[in-house]
Amino acid sequence: MYRNIKIMEIKVNKEISLRLMQENEAETMFQLIQENKIFLERWLDWVEFVKTPKDSIEKIQNDNLDYQSEKSLELGIFKNNKFIGRIGFHDLKNNQAEIGYWLTGSENGKGIITELCKALIRYAFREMNLHCIIIKMDVENIPSRKIPE
């Protein structure tokens, strides 16, 4: 499907880019999750299992292996080269995927995720030959619901 496509970076605008994360960024990812833990735990069940930086290293390793085997595409969100969250496609199969995302609290409500979803979905249809993008979220998560609406 998209195995030959090497994603180094998707430039969304002059401030924001998406890219595969590296193991040396695990501590940064861990710290951001910890800083936003109360907010993130409300909506994302995996957050409670991130207890040490090692958990973030394993997440990045597994995400990159899943990318290589075409199971998912998980990207870091960087604003002016500072890590602020993650976005990606899970459960890639049959030319479709589920999109998911999270963002640090200080960047919420600025339209960033909406812009990122548009850019990543455009990339998926043009470069990955996907035909369907699915989005699932808790119906009570009003800000997240506004993205597809």
* pLDDT tens for each residue of 102-134: 999 899 889 999 999 999 999 999 988 899 999
- The whole-angstrom separation of Cα 70 and Cα 74 is 11
Q: What is the pTM of this model?
A: 0.89
Which pLDDT does position 2 carry in this prediction? Answer: 52
Amino acid at 35: E
Confidence of residue 46 (pLDDT cuts 50, 70, 90): confident
Give the three-class secondary structure for 16: strand
Confidence of residue 7 (pLDDT cuts 50, 70, 90): low
